[in-house]
Amino acid sequence: QLQLQESGPGLVKPSETLSLTCTVSGGSISSSGYYWGWIRQPPGKGLEWIGNIYYSGSTYYNPSLKSRVTISVDTPKNQFSLKLKSVTAADTAIYYCARRGTMAVAGLDYWGQGALVTVSS
């Protein structure tokens, strides 16, 4: 059974960089056809897609966040990571990592449990 687990600091200061890692177990991040991504959810609000990465390193980002976001992949460690720079209180959210299924499915079929990140001094 595939599992995803987010990890990283739960508190980040304003103007600094938010860094999270998603560790994939029960399957290979290098499997053909799957994209790996990040989604966030501010407290009490809806879902916002941040971006995706393929194991080859190809990335797609939400245009509204593109200037501040970097997603990278570490295939030997079976992990992918998120960096969001110059954070403000508006970036406070639960951050989820998720897998986008192959074209036969195409939805986000596996999710991590989520990691709450608070931006505060």
Partner 1 sequence: SYELTQPLSVSVALGQTARITCRGNNIGKKNVHWYQQKAGQAPLLVIYRDINRPSGIPERISGSNSGNTAALTISRAQAGDEADYYCQVWDSSTAVFGGGTKLTVL
Q: Does 2 bind partner 1 (CB under 8 A)?
A: no
Distances (CA, A) of 107 to 7, 73, 77, 83: 23, 20, 25, 24
Phi-psi region of 63 (alpha: psi -120 to 50; beta: other; left: phi over 0): alpha
Nearest approach, Cβ of residue 43 and partner 1 (Å): 12
Q: Determine which residue in the list 43, 107, 120, 121 makes contact with partner 1, applying CB under 8 A.
A: 107
Q: Determine which residue in the list 37, 69, 92, 117 makes contact with partner 1, applying CB under 8 A.
A: 37
3-state secondary structure of 91: helix
Q: Does 113 bind partner 1 (CB under 8 A)?
A: yes
Q: Does 52 bind partner 1 (CB under 8 A)?
A: yes
Q: Are 92 and 119 contacting, i.e. CB atoms less than 8 angstroms apart?
A: yes
Beta pairing partners, 71: 82
Q: Does 43 bind partner 1 (CB under 8 A)?
A: no
Residues of this chain that bind partner 1 (CB under 8 A)? 37, 39, 46-49, 52, 60-63, 96, 101, 105-109, 111-114
